[in-house]
Structure 1
Amino acid sequence: MASPTSWSEENFSCPICLDVFSSPVFTPCGHNFCRACITKFWDDQAQYKCPVCNELFHTRPDLRANILVSELAAQFKTSVRVKEQPCVEPGEVPCDFCTGTQLKAVKSCLVCFTSYCQTHLEPHQRVARLQKHRLVEPMDHLEERMCKEHDRLLELFCQTEQVCVCLLCTVTDHKSHPVIPLKKEYEVKTAQLGKIEAEVPQMIQERKQKIKEIKDTVKLSKKDADTVMADGLQALTALMRCIEKWQEDFNQTVKEKLKSTEKQAEDLIKGLEQEIEDLTNRSAEVKLLSHTEDHLHFLQAFRALKDPPPTRDWTTVVVRPPSYVGTWRRSLDQLEETLNMGMKKLCDAELKRVQQYEVDVTLDPDTAYPWLILSEDGKQVHYRGLMNGLPDNPKRFHEIACVLSRQSFSSGRFYFEVQVKDKSVRCLGVARESINRKNNIALTPKNGCWGISIMKDVFEFRDDPVVCLPLRAELHKVGVYVDYDEGLVSFYDVEARVHIYSATGCSFSEPLYPILRDNCSGLPLIISPVNQTD
């Protein structure tokens, strides 16, 4: 006789339900059926006949179990299920009833605290008493569902201590604590989980956007670097013999600045990609947890999940394109004697670059010396010669005819222009927030001010010692450029398109304000809009 494993499913199929026999019985004509199938078939018929051969029985036959077919069908079921079900792999739950080769469990019983493969699960699907047991997706460590102190099922949740408890816990250690069923707390945490699940993709998207911003900044930095190097090469080709070393040093500096920017961008991108990976993993964990029906496992896992992984606040993170203005200045100062012919072209390109950082500056009347008059729009200031009777306050200058802007700058780059035609100016530049406003002090970097004074035929940078340089022509408009992070303050003759002076290596640790000091001539100093076509 052939082994059941060599037969097909048709050999063990009920002619009525077409499934493998369940409790097979045979009729007087010799045909086999599931007991439930043939019983229901005859219940619905007026006559009792065989569904296969149509033999008619005058009375309802007594059905007898076919023990041989039953045993063969059981062996066939087992052999088929063994073939269909893979053995337990890492991360899967094994069947607690299998001996020898363990099969993976398909369900776990929360009443029996046992996991079953498809074969050993059969009694829970057939026996009425076992059908009342709660079956869930396979899970390990079912014993952890029992209270270690009372050996009772953990079915309640303590809201005070945020732990799962059994019924006896509510009359002992958690007697005075509010407790609710696990299902109710599950619903609360599920709602929170949904919020977390919604937030994670948004956080991922924000970081992807930040990566795009950083990459775009790097592209602009590369373009700017190429432009700077091309400008330098074009302007200095005719003087290549005397500036060969300068060109080498200059290009190296630009490349190092660009490399530094790219390295900064690379590090930031790695950090963002790591957070994206962490958030993606968290999203997967959230999604997996959101599908579990096991209240206890959900709540225990949610405890570790509810706090998001530590992430950096990327909203203020930017990669600033490197500034090459200081590089130009240091190089050109060394070669000024031989580069006079090319200086104007170089300075014109430089001024166009810094003018891109134009900011809107208005003067603050609360800081103005009492004898100064400001226009309504805050763009002009002149000396009146009479006390305005303005109230004193900590922000107002008391001994020096100065006024600050309303705007302050604590990072990055900014540029503004001041019309000084037919004027001499005691100070034009920037000052730190804590500058002494009540005493007559020297407006120098030591005292928190970086500015120039303009006389008839000379200008001064008020340092210690004072830097004095002759004016090539009468000044009409002065441009002021500040790179806060670079520690650079530069001054330009806007109409002549030439550089006047740069203070390099400055150290800024406070907000900076544009500052003007009038020379008591009665003519206004005017903050002008930038016209890049000049």
Structure 2
Amino acid sequence: MSERQKPQEGMASANTSWSEENFSCSICLEVFSSPVSTPCGHNFCRTCITQFWDEQVWYKCPFCNELFNTRPDLRVNILLSKMVDRFGTSVQVKEQPCSEPADVPCDFCTGTQLKAVKSCLECFMSFCQTHLEPHQRVAVLKKHRLVEPMDRLEDKMCKKHDRLLEHFCQTEQVCVCQFCTETDHKSHPVVPLKEEYEVKTAQLGKIEAEVQQMIQERQKNIQEIKDTVKRSKSDADREIADGVQVLTALMRCIEKCQDDLNQIVKERLKSTEKQAEDLIKELEQEIEDLTNRSSEVKQLSHTKDHIHFLQAFRSLKNPPDTRDWTTVEVHPPSYVGTLRRSLDQLEETLNMQMKKLLDAEMKRVQQYEVDVTLDHDTAHPKLILSEDGKQVHDGGVVKKLPDNPKRFTNRLYVLTRQSFSSGRFYFEVQVKDKTAWFLGVARESINRIGGTTWTPETGYWILNYYKDVLIFIDKPNVPLPPRAELQKVGMFVDYDEGLVSFYDVEARVLIYSATGCTFAEPLYPFLCPCIYNFEGINSAPLIISPVNQTD
């Protein structure tokens, strides 16, 4: 071997000692294609580094992470290009698992992305096993902080300190990095993200349970609304059917009254016409008889035979039997009272139907019976309440009781413990043997200390009774028909419809209905037995009674 050949052999020996990694691009892991060099001295395929920088905000070396102020002007590395051509081999990449949808993909892989095994907190990138190799070999890259693969790594970094968000500030409820805990959040309670995650996860379970409960409640509300609509339809159908039945009966009654009226009038007219016809016949007969006599007279007047004349005249001296028509009259029929009597019959039928309707109405409202008891804390100090809270009367003596903002101090009033803010309710109060009382409902905010008017405007819907006189208290008061035998009063309230009705339970009669009422707060049943010295006969109690629907 000549001296000239030895250097060539040395070069050949040196070339064969290079591994394939020396001729592969660290981005695509393939043999360099048009290799170019960055200002820091690292080489990449022109296409790879160009595409890499197109996708980045900063221009940095993918290998050593050095930042450049401006995008470098890349030039082909001629020496490396020749060595790659001379080497003539391609780098074989070891098989690695491809990235699945749930995996974090490698940011350096082009084409098919492999599964990342680590993420770099300095590079803000994730690497597969092959692309991670520079971080395990290059001294500068070895200093980078590697963590388990994370997707969207830039969102997990502190924008201020460019560090991983590892803690949670409980004061400001934000994720912070280690530097944040030593500066802006130094005085705040800070816990590791995992600890706060576990706490929030537990809360999330509670929130989910609450949400599910809210969903169930709303589903229940939907069902209740549907049931209400269904009941409303049934009620409407029943009301229409009842109305048709009653109105049909009334129409039949009106038709019968009309037929009876027509028949009576026609019969009376027919009787008058028959009387007139008989009289006319009789008069016509008499006229005929008289006409015949007139003919006989005329004929006799022409007779010259004295004997015949005298004999015939003798028979003409007695006139024919006729009626004295000076006393005969045809009176037209009188219809006075005929229509009134028909209307009286119609009124009787209508009253019967009204009684049936009121009885049905009473049964419907009684279905909304509520169990109410009197509230001792609201009763005026003179009032005596039964132990079960169902009776109240005036005791005549003002008792010393603890101060209570709910207590009436100026009037002998008492409310029930129960209040109502929606729907319908009904209760009954016995008023037997009393000469005076007040009954009704009152809103929660009524004045309980001083005197006031008791009108709907001030929050009272009240029926007042005094010595057989009934009035609904309003501006002006509404006088009502007296009910001397009134023993039990039923009260029905439809909160949503703004309706307050009072009934005479025993007579099954509506006393009065206040309509178009406005209720904006809870309503309480209201009782006032009045003082007992009204002629000494008002000592009987007002008694909240159970509803007896068989009455």
1:530 matched to 2:547: yes
Which of 188, 208, 225 is matched with 1:201 structurally? 208
Cα 1:473–1:92 change in 2 (3 A) is farther
The residue number in structure 2 matching 1:477 is 488
Q: Write out aligned runs for 1:12-27 (5 A).
A: none
Conserved? CA contact 1:156–1:179, under 8 Å: no
Conserved? CA contact 1:452–1:462, under 8 Å: yes
Q: Deviations over 1:264-283 (max 9, x none)?
A: xxxxxxxxxxxxxxxxxxxx
Conserved? CA contact 1:457–1:470, under 8 Å: no
Tell me the distance in 1 between the aligned counterparts of 2:230 and 2:171.
60
1:405 matched to 2:412: no
Helix, strand or coil for the counterpart of 1:227?
helix
Structure 1 residue 176: Cα displacement: 4.9
The residue number in structure 2 matching 1:423 is 434
Q: Deviations over 1:76-130 (max 9, x none)?
A: 848xx6xx668xx9x996532124x362654441355322357646888999x98
The residue number in structure 2 matching 1:140 is 152
Which of 220, 228, 235 is matched with 2:227 structurally? 220
Structure 1 residue 496: Cα displacement: 3.4
Helix, strand or coil for the counterpart of 2:432?
coil
In terms of mean alpha carbon deviation, does 518-527 or 486-495 score higher? Answer: 486-495
The residue number in structure 1 matching 2:386 is 375
Which of 434, 439, 443 is matched with 2:454 structurally? 443
The residue number in structure 1 matching 2:198 is 191
Q: Write out aligned runs for 1:259-408 (5 A).
A: 340-388=351-399, 395-408=406-419
Which of 501, 511, 515 is matched with 1:504 structurally? 515
Conserved? CA contact 2:410–2:449, under 8 Å: yes
**Identity rate of aligned residues, in percent?**
52
Structure 1 residue 206: Cα displacement: 1.0
The residue number in structure 1 matching 2:505 is 494
Q: Deviations over 1:394-429 (max 9, x none)?
A: 544455333222333344433221011232343110
Tell me the distance in 1 between the aligned counterparts of 2:233 and 2:409.
49
The residue number in structure 2 matching 1:210 is 217
Conserved? CA contact 1:158–1:177, under 8 Å: no
Cα 1:125–1:487 change in 2 (3 A) is farther
Tell me the distance in 2 between the aligned counterparts of 1:523 and 1:175.
76
The residue number in structure 2 matching 1:50 is none
Tell me the distance in 2 between the aligned counterparts of 1:166 and 1:223.
60
Give 2:504's aligned amino acid: D
Structure 1 residue 526: Cα displacement: 0.4
Conserved? CA contact 1:399–1:439, under 8 Å: yes
Q: Deviations over 1:137-194 (max 9, x none)?
A: 4412448536644x555556666666555566666x35954786xxx61232122122
Q: Write out aligned runs for 1:103-114 (5 A).
A: 103=113, 105-111=115-121, 113-114=124-125
What value does the CA root-mean-square deviation take over the aligned residues?
A: 4.3
Cα 1:231–1:185 change in 2 (3 A) is same
Tell me the distance in 1 between the aligned counterparts of 2:398 and 2:155.
88
Tell me the distance in 2 between the aligned counterparts of 1:140 and 1:390.
73
The residue number in structure 2 matching 1:30 is none
Which TM-score applies when normalising by structure 1?
0.55
The residue number in structure 2 matching 1:293 is none
Structure 1 residue 199: Cα displacement: 1.3
Tell me the distance in 2 between the aligned counterparts of 1:451 and 1:113.
79
Tell me the distance in 1 between the aligned counterparts of 2:249 and 2:373.
46
Helix, strand or coil for the counterpart of 2:192?
helix
Tell me the distance in 2 between the aligned counterparts of 1:396 and 1:463.
24
Cα 1:411–1:143 change in 2 (3 A) is closer
Conserved? CA contact 2:429–2:489, under 8 Å: yes
Tell me the distance in 2 between the aligned counterparts of 1:152 and 1:388.
77
Helix, strand or coil for the counterpart of 1:485?
coil
Structure 1 residue 451: Cα displacement: 1.2
Tell me the distance in 2 between the aligned counterparts of 1:431 and 1:159.
50
Structure number with larger C-alpha Rg = 2
Structure 1 residue 484: Cα displacement: 2.7
Which of 462, 475, 494 is matched with 1:464 structurally? 475
Helix, strand or coil for the counterpart of 1:482?
strand
Conserved? CA contact 1:236–1:243, under 8 Å: no
Cα 1:343–1:216 change in 2 (3 A) is farther
Give 1:227's aligned amino acid: S
Conserved? CA contact 2:462–2:473, under 8 Å: yes
Helix, strand or coil for the counterpart of 2:219?
helix
Cα 1:509–1:74 change in 2 (3 A) is same
Structure 1 residue 381: Cα displacement: 1.5
In terms of mean alpha carbon deviation, does 452-461 or 522-531 score higher? Answer: 452-461
Tell me the distance in 2 between the aligned counterparts of 1:523 and 1:434.
29
Structure 1 residue 338: Cα displacement: 8.8
Give 2:207's aligned amino acid: V
Structure 1 residue 518: Cα displacement: 1.9
Helix, strand or coil for the counterpart of 2:152?
coil
The residue number in structure 1 matching 2:276 is none
Structure 1 residue 388: Cα displacement: 4.3
In terms of mean alpha carbon deviation, does 500-509 or 430-439 score higher? Answer: 430-439
Structure 1 residue 477: Cα displacement: 1.7
Structure 1 residue 503: Cα displacement: 0.7
Aligned residues: 360
Cα 1:116–1:345 change in 2 (3 A) is farther
Cα 1:532–1:216 change in 2 (3 A) is farther
Conserved? CA contact 1:147–1:154, under 8 Å: no
Tell me the distance in 2 between the aligned counterparts of 1:118 and 1:353.
82
Structure 1 residue 490: Cα displacement: 1.3
Cα 1:158–1:461 change in 2 (3 A) is closer
The residue number in structure 1 matching 2:9 is none
Tell me the distance in 2 between the aligned counterparts of 1:165 and 1:403.
63
Tell me the distance in 1 between the aligned counterparts of 2:451 and 2:175.
72
Which of 463, 466, 471 is matched with 1:452 structurally? 463
Give 1:451's aligned amino acid: I
Conserved? CA contact 1:354–1:481, under 8 Å: yes
Tell me the distance in 2 between the aligned counterparts of 1:228 and 1:367.
38
Give 2:148's aligned amino acid: V
Q: Write out aligned runs for 1:111-190 (5 A).
A: 111=121, 113-117=124-128, 120=131, 134-142=146-154, 145=157, 148-149=160-161, 173-174=183-184, 176-177=186-187, 185-190=192-197
Structure 1 residue 73: Cα displacement: 10
Conserved? CA contact 2:125–2:153, under 8 Å: no
